Structure 1
Amino acid sequence: MGHRGNRLAAVLALAAVVSVAGCGTYPADPSGTLERVAAGTLRVGASENGDWVKFSAASGGGQGTQPASPRPDEDVQGTEAELVRRFAARLGAEIEWVSGTEHVLAEELKHAELDLVIGGLNDKTPWAQHGGLTRVYAESRDSHGALQKHVMLVPLGENAFLLELDKFLMEAKEQR
């Protein structure tokens, strides 16, 4: 039974590997964010915050009203807005901008109304329970000199989308 047991174990192990391999790709997006956004529309929530995200004065600037409100592309400026534009171009996607407070945008992300939230968020953001965080892609000092590690917020569980954004952000960081 020694050889027969080993052969059976090997066959079962091979069957397990083949069946897992046939289950799809990893990482995956349960809601299909990356597939939907590519050559489609990237829905981005933007919260005004210093040089990270700025709104033009022509449209009133400010934090937006409750609930979140749509913004024209030319109205959204700043370091993160430019990164998002480059990421969208890489995916062949148009951007649908929405402005609001971090709280409102995090809620919309949680309920699958947005694909991405930006606004100078750091890795200690209280909104991490509403979405997944990218890797830290930039660092800055706040007005008190404390180190801020910047991230963006994506829908929970959309790992293929998160991985694609993380790769882009790391490439952009290396180019600086």
Structure 2
Amino acid sequence: MGRWRRVWSVPLLVLSLCVAGCGITVPSDPQGTLDRVRGGELRVGASPSGGLVIIDGTGVGGSLAEIVDDFAASVDAEVTWTIGSEEDLVDGLETGALDLAIGGMTDATPWSTRVAVTRSYDSIPGARGPVVLFAPLGENAWLAALEGYLDREVAR
């Protein structure tokens, strides 16, 4: 046993130091979205889509809007709504003006090269099929928190 310890102790120590020195924290947010939203403002873009997203003047309602409001409450954030087309919302996510976008988007979206797309959820009231939400690309901790909430609160 003593010889085994001598033979493997140095390589194991080196390997441990290499892994520890990598600074890997998964998932991470290069732009800090999750940290900024917690206890602050959640900037959400909304595109009208039947009962999922209902625009009434400047107000936003519907089943997806309610889910977003509940998610915001879970991270102690206030929702600020922006209404626009899907293209406008994608632009807002890319420029950092928005943290999340909702509408009648599906996993067949053509925007998946420009934004992060959540897993699909087909049990959202008013949905005619699986629905996805959009988030900024690369904000993986933010996306993980959002999907964790949706997985717990919205039956897939």
TM-score clears 0.5: yes
Task: Tell me the distance in 2 between the aligned counterparts of 1:16 and 1:110.
Answer: 34
The amino acid across from 1:38 in the alignment is R
TM-score by length of 1: 0.79
Contact 1:53 1:118 in 2 (8 A): yes
Structure 1 position 138, deviation (Å) = 2.1
The match for 1:16 among 3, 15, 18 is 18
Unaligned ranges ≥5, structure 2: none
Write out the 4+ residue segments of structure 1 that deviate beyond 4 Å after TM superposition.
Answer: 2-5
SS at match of 1:149: coil
Partner Cα distance (2:67, 2:112) in 1: 21
SS at match of 1:138: coil
In 1, Cα distance between equivalents of 2:24 and 2:40: 22
Mapped to 1, the partners of 2:66 and 2:148 lie a distance apart of 16
> How far did residue 106 of structure 1 move?
0.6
Contact 1:38 1:92 in 2 (8 A): yes
Deviation of the 1:30 alpha carbon? 0.4
What amino acid maps onto 2:134 in structure 1?
A: L
Name the SS of the counterpart of 2:154 in structure 1: helix
2:106 to 109, 112, 122: 122
- Corresponding position of 1:45: 45
Matched to 1:129, the amino acid is T
Question: Normalising by structure 2, what TM-score?
Answer: 0.88
CA distance in 1, matches of 2:93, 2:16: 40
Contact persistence 1:80–1:120 (CA under 8 A): no
What's the offset of the Cα at 1:130?
A: 1.8
Q: Which runs of 5+ in 1 are unaligned?
A: 60-70, 142-147
Identity %: 40
1:155 is aligned, of 136, 144, 148, to 136
Retained in 2: the 8 A contact 1:31–1:158? yes
**1:1-176 → structure 2 map (5 Å cutoff):** 6-20=8-22, 23=23, 25-56=25-56, 59=57, 71=58, 75-138=59-122, 140-141=127-128, 148-174=129-155
Instruction: Give the structure 2 partner of residue 63 of structure 1.
Output: none
Task: Give a deviation string over 1:122-157, Cα, whole Å, max 9, x none.
Answer: 00111112210111122543xxxxxx3211000001
Amino acid at match of 2:25: T
Residues 88, 94 of structure 1: 8 Å contact kept: yes
- The alignment's C-alpha RMSD in Å is 1.9
